[in-house]
Structure 1
Amino acid sequence: MLTQNKKLSLTGRVILGMVLGIFTGFIIRSLFSETSWVHEYLVNGLFDVGGAIFIASLKMLVVPLVFISLVCGTSSLSDISTLGRLGGKTILFYLTTTAVAITLALTMGSLFQPGAGADLSAATSFSASEAPSLGEVIVGMFPTNPINSMAQGNTLQIIVFAILFGIAISAAGSAGERIAAIFTDLNEVIMKLVALLMHIAPFGVFFLMAKLFTNIGLDAIFNLLGYFLVLSATLLIHGLVVYSLMLKVFSGLSPKIFLKKMEDAIMFAFSTASSNATIPVTMETATKRLGVSNQIASFTIPLGATINMDGTAIMQGVATAFIAQAFNIDLTMSDYMAVIVTATLASIGTAGVPGVGLIMLAMVLNQVGLPVEGIAIIMGVDRLLDMIRTAVNITGDSCVTCIVAKSENAMDIACFNDPQAGAKVEEVHLNPHPKASHID
């Protein structure tokens, strides 16, 4: 039997790995910047390979987890009309939080003027890929080859196919019941695989942080200090204050308990800077720690990771204000309204597109006539800020999930209030098969 060390919680171990990684990165950058073997064998060797394996391991679970859990949730619905109501609520909340995020960002950007006095005359050229139209995105949601969609990791197509497959299972009578039982067992196995992976997370986080902070210098942050501070503060306000108020007003649940139980998922999101890669941990947190029914979480979490981009919307708002101020271009109230509407709709219109944040920002800047070249300047600190944005995004996904689950009476309140909820799920016991338990 493999017993787990209880002296330090998973969150504590992840934070320790993060701090040690950051410290190691700064030490290497400060003392060994010219030492070739350190960069060859440590930075580009151990750190790069270890971090890449950790990210790949997380992404490995995304497709089977999303498909299996969503099939389980959909097939267990007694009334298919519930799915339409559930989808309507979820999308409405996601769009609302995105609109609030961009409004808050524009307000903070206008209030603190992070771009005042900045010199962007030397901005290098930047071009973002053209975003698809909303119609193209809607058509693209329906897969012509579901297996290919899974191979490519196309989340929206996987969601659509899983919902249709789940509905078919529900309508297939006794045959569907047998298939549903198999998917239920598969879901338990996948969640245990997530728990197993979480125990190697501190090492993966250490590798990622060590490599990142070996390459990021403080000078990049100091050159854009105003932008960095305003954007970071806005992200924290939205993640801690706005979501807490929403949770309390719309569900009556305790924000303190919610944020406490989100610690692991937030640490994973921060270190990976990927909402999709964090889906397994977010799902485990929502169902096992927050008490949300799999029927709800299996739909809202993957959808949120795809279209709910509050952190990215905040970046667009602050970056728009920063670039306008740096180029001495005044924006009118109608321009600000255009930014809010464009960024909110673009969060769906560019869902699943690589480099989505920069594509959305380019769309917003074009909408109000600001030079797209300004993006090149802020890219210097974007990787670090992307980590905070991702943490905000998955917090928003979980907040909306709890609100929708509470409104649908699909939430275990006792589990939500239990500080030890989910602890047993994280335990991993490697026992021999019962028939082979005794060997002479």
Structure 2
Amino acid sequence: MKGKKLLSMIFISFVLAIMFGVIFGPAMEAVQPLGTLFLRLINFIIVPLVFTSLIVGVASTGDIKKLGRMSMRTVSYYLGTTAIAITIGLVVGKLMMPGAGLDTPVSEQTIEPQEAPGLVDTLLNIIPTNPLMSLIEANMLQIIFFAIFLGLSITLVGEKAKGVYTFFEGFAEMMYSITNIVMKVAPIGVFGLVAPIVGQYGPAVLLPLLKIIAAVAIAALLHVIITYSSAVKLFAKMSPIHFFKGISPAILVAFSTQSSSGTLPVTIKCSEENLGVSKKVSSFVLPLGATINMDGTALYQGVCVLFVAQLYGIELSFAQLLTIVLTATLASIGTAGVPSAGLVMLTMVMTSVGLPLEGIALIAGIDRILDMIRTSVNVTGDASAATIVSALEVDLQEEREATQSVPSKHLAG
């Protein structure tokens, strides 16, 4: 299914899901198995797709310096935009005051505090003690680490490892083919995921907390329009309209599945077919982004932390706000791209500034809706990084070729 047709089908399915959800309400729970089927198909392909495509992507660079440069650009972009995202979330939360004057009672549910992982522990946990168990347990950071080192070893060994490279290249092509098959049921899956949610959450449930939903949505929109548009225009020389149109099928799937990792096959497909991202870049940047790039989650942290502080009448100092930015940025590296992982991350950030965790009970009630918004931003950020890194690699290659051609012209003269 080509990009434009896929977009049309997903969009139509999305609109129909909202309409049916509003009309039939909770009765739309009957179509939930369609969404579950789609999620299972996505989960079925995600580990082998990431593993094989990343090995091939790293090995095909043929240059360790080039891989190091690509890694540095990718990680720097991800961490930089994450810090910007949480700052935008804090500013919007400060201006809109979503928790001020809210008379909804705070649940007495006990929330267990989550300690923010230290930087050293986070880095050490990336290294698998048993790579096979990492594959079985779908530990994406450890899978990425294992795949990168396999790809590097293929490059270092050279000719003797050609058979191994050919095997994984063929395996990756098989996974791309399976992904294309799975994408054919994406519109049905989106309908099965969105309709029950719309039917479940009526206006009566949403109205008391509509302000925090609006705050997260506005922060997300500002980050997407300001940060990603500027970055794509400045570094990739691409029209933001073209970029958003090209990645829109992945955004809709992300909104429906609430999973960055689950949307990865669609993100790869849209980036390569619609945005012209090379396979070498997409196979490295996008799997890494689905695991460590959490811009949407970060801005959600900013809004929600201020929501809880305002709910309890607590004034946060500048030092505490800075702590929130740093904690959320570093914690995003270890946050898996799965539904509601941001809620766990929120307890870490709130603990770092001593806020009462009971306030999370209110947010938990609407977390699925907020998860839709933040996951859409996460995936858009992944695609923007892939687009920019791909464009920079092409520019560098053209510059090298031009430089190398100059001596030959002098010799010819």
Query: TM-score under structure 2 normalisation?
Result: 0.90
Mapped pair 1:12 → 2:24 = no
Whether the aligned pair in 1 keeps the contact of 2:93 and 2:307 (CA below 8 Å) is yes
Whether the aligned pair in 1 keeps the contact of 2:232 and 2:240 (CA below 8 Å) is yes
Gaps of 5+ in 1: 34-38, 414-440
Mapped pair 1:320 → 2:305 = yes
Question: Could you say which residue in structure 1 is the equivalent of 2:402?
Answer: none
- Range 310-319 or range 336-345, more displaced: 336-345
Pairwise CA distance, 1:117: 0.7
- Range 125-134 or range 193-202, more displaced: 125-134
Pairwise CA distance, 1:380: 1.9
Q: Which amino acid aligns with 2:62?
A: S
Whether the aligned pair in 1 keeps the contact of 2:290 and 2:337 (CA below 8 Å) is no
Q: How does 1:36-435 map to 2 (within 5 A)?
A: 43=29, 46-119=30-103, 121-125=105-109, 126-351=111-336, 355-409=340-394
Pairwise CA distance, 1:119: 2.8
Change (3 A) 1:57 1:349: closer
Q: Which amino acid aligns with 1:152?
A: E
Aligned-residue CA RMSD (Å): 2.3
Pairwise CA distance, 1:207: 1.1
Q: Number of aligned residue pairs: give it.
A: 397
Change (3 A) 1:135 1:5: closer
Whether the aligned pair in 1 keeps the contact of 2:93 and 2:302 (CA below 8 Å) is yes
Q: Which amino acid aligns with 1:138?
A: L
- Mapped to 2, the partners of 1:253 and 1:5 lie a distance apart of 21
Whether the aligned pair in 1 keeps the contact of 2:259 and 2:338 (CA below 8 Å) is no
3-state SS of paired residue (1:408): helix
- Range 120-129 or range 244-253, more displaced: 120-129
- Mapped to 1, the partners of 2:306 and 2:248 lie a distance apart of 31
- Mapped to 2, the partners of 1:51 and 1:62 lie a distance apart of 16
Question: Could you say which residue in structure 2 is the equivalent of 1:28?
Answer: 24
Between Structure 1 and Structure 2, which shows a larger proportion of helix residues? 2
Whether the aligned pair in 2 keeps the contact of 1:105 and 1:234 (CA below 8 Å) is yes
- Range 53-62 or range 283-292, more displaced: 283-292
Pairwise CA distance, 1:122: 3.1
Change (3 A) 1:115 1:354: closer
Whether the aligned pair in 1 keeps the contact of 2:215 and 2:303 (CA below 8 Å) is yes
Whether the aligned pair in 1 keeps the contact of 2:86 and 2:302 (CA below 8 Å) is yes
TM-superposition CA deviations, 1:238-263 (whole Å, max 9, x none):
12332001111222222111111001
Q: Which amino acid aligns with 2:290?
A: A
TM-superposition CA deviations, 1:383-425 (whole Å, max 9, x none):
1121111111010011011111222228999xxxxxxxxxxxx
Whether the aligned pair in 2 keeps the contact of 1:292 and 1:410 (CA below 8 Å) is no
3-state SS of paired residue (1:330): coil
- Range 371-380 or range 404-413, more displaced: 404-413
TM-superposition CA deviations, 1:190-234 (whole Å, max 9, x none):
222222211111111111112222222222210112111111111
Pairwise CA distance, 1:56: 0.8
Query: TM-score under structure 1 normalisation?
Result: 0.85
- Mapped to 2, the partners of 1:217 and 1:128 lie a distance apart of 30
Change (3 A) 1:321 1:297: same
Gaps of 5+ in 2: 399-413
- Mapped to 2, the partners of 1:363 and 1:199 lie a distance apart of 39
Whether the aligned pair in 2 keeps the contact of 1:307 and 1:347 (CA below 8 Å) is yes
Change (3 A) 1:411 1:294: farther
Question: Could you say which residue in structure 2 is the equivalent of 1:430?
Answer: none
Change (3 A) 1:136 1:351: farther
Whether the aligned pair in 2 keeps the contact of 1:131 and 1:350 (CA below 8 Å) is no
Pairwise CA distance, 1:373: 0.9
Q: Which amino acid aligns with 2:190?
A: V
- Range 288-297 or range 255-264, more displaced: 288-297
Q: Which amino acid aligns with 1:272?
A: T
